[in-house]
Every structure is written in C-alpha cells, then in structure tokens.
C-alpha cells in the first residue's frame, strides 16, 4: 500500500519554524524523505513564520517550535491559528509536559511531537496529520479535569488575530497609545479591541485579562500589570 501523499507531492509546501538550524535540518530531511518534490521553507521567529504564511497562500503544514523568538508561551500559536485557520499546525517541542501538550491541542494544533522522538516517529506523525488526522504521543492523557481552565482556553480561542496581538502587548505592560503605534492603528481602535477582549474572556479589567491568560501559560506568559 502506497503512503498517502508520497507519490504526488509536487504542489505541497511545508514551513518549518524553529530557531535551531540543526533541528530545522533534521525536520527538512524527514519531510524530503516523505515528499521529495515538496517546497520547504525554514524560519526562525514568529514574525518570519507569519510573513512566510502570508506570502504562500497554499501552505499544507506548519511545523512550529513553542520556544522560538516571538512565541511567548501559547500566544504565538493562538495568533497563527486565528490568522491562518486553513493551515494545519503541528507543534514540535523540547517539552514533554502533559499540560503543555493538552493546551496546544485545545488551542487547535493538529499534533504535538516531542523533539526527543526519533525521525521515524516524526515521519509517521506527519503522515497521519497530512492524511487528515491528529497525532500526540500515545501515552498522553488529553482529558482536562479543570472545567474553569478549559473554559478559559475556549474563550481565548475565540479571539481574533488582532485581539491576540493586543493581549500579547497588554501582557508586556504597554499602554493603549504604545499598542496603537506598534499596530499602526488609532487609540480608539485599540480601546475597542480591549473592550472586546474583556467581554470574550469574561473579565472586567486589562489586568484581569492578562492574569486570566497567564493561567494557561504555566509561567510562560508574563503577567504584567498594565497601567
């Protein structure tokens, strides 16, 4: 039986987003073995990943490192999933923490591959996702026993790409005028985004929004107090 996608893959395009060149090379080698004719792009930051996805309308899979520059815990994943909903994302991470794997899947990842796994396992995982499935380590329990936390994850997943960016900047303690400058929008627009964020997260203040988001970050999201 022929593996799905291996024989007819000239139109496939993959993006590898990881700030370690050696590991990017290993992932490239794994993909090239499965899809010899596919296009493969390599980037090392969240900003470069977003730029590459913007330029290539038909990206079939994004392999994403959680800890590369710009990611800020799960916020980078949230932004990419909101902005490019048609692109499947597989997290490839050095962490094997069950809670982290669970969060990534709840936030829309199609898979989670620990970097400690061998190339053969990585290939199997990619084939599974490319066939329309999802993949996580077989011994991981993805069930969530904290209903309040799960509710917050679902609320965060409803944010638009711009709202995610605003929340990221709120977590850095930026003022409305600073956020407006960074995003090249008016302060009124930023205020509207903040109001929408508060409503979606069910909180009453900017600080509460950042604290609520930080609950799912396992210490990765800086819970700064915005003035």
Q: Is 21 helix (H, G, I), strand (E, B) or coil?
A: helix
**Residue 64 β-bridge partners:** 17, 91
Q: Are 13-130 and 147-214 the same fold in CATH?
A: no
Could you read off the pLDDT of 112-164 as tens digits, one per residue? 999 888 888 889 999 999 999 999 998 888 776 677 778 888 898 889 989 99
CA 105 centroid distance within chain: 10
Spell out the domain ranges in the chain: 13-130, 147-214
Domain 147-214 has CATH 1.20.1250.20: no
Could you read off the pLDDT of 71-93 as tens digits, one per residue? 877 888 988 998 898 899 999 99
The whole-number pLDDT of residue 215 equals 74
- Packing angle between helix 21-34 and helix 119-130, nearest 10 degrees? 60
State how far the Cα of 33 lies from the Cα of 164, in Å rounded to an integer: 36
Q: In the predicted model, what is the mean pLDDT of the chain?
A: 85
Specify the higher pLDDT residue, 143 or 221: 143
> Structure pTM?
0.78
In terms of CATH architecture, what is 13-130? 3-Layer(aba) Sandwich (3.40)
């Amino acid at each position: 039986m022929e593996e799905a996608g291996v024989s007819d893959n000239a139109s496939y395009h993959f993006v590898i987003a990881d700030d370690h060149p050696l590991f990017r090379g290993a992932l490239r080698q794994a993909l090239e073995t499965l899809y010899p004719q596919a296009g493969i792009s390599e980037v090392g930051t969240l900003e470069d990943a977003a730029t590459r996805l913007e330029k290539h309308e038909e990206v079939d899979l994004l392999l994403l490192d959680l800890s590369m520059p710009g990611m800020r815990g799960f916020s980078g994943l949230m932004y990419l999933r909101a902005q490019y909903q048609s692109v499947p994302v597989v997290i490839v991470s050095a962490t094997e923490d069950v809670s982290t794997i669970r969060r990534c899947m709840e936030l829309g990842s199609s898979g989670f591959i620990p970097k400690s796994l061998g190339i053969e396992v990585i290939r199997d995982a990619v084939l599974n996702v490319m066939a329309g499935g999802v993949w996580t380590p077989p011994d991981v329990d993805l069930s969530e026993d904290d209903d309040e936390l799960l509710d917050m994850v679902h609320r965060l997943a409803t944010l638009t790409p711009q709202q995610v960016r605003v929340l990221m900047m709120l977590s850095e303690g930026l003022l409305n005028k600073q956020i407006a400058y960074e995003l090249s929008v008016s302060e009124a627009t930023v205020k509207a985004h903040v109001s929408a964020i508060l409503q979606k997260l069910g909180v009453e203040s900017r600080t509460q929004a950042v604290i609520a988001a930080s609950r799912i970050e396992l210490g990765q999201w800086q819970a700064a107090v915005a003035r």
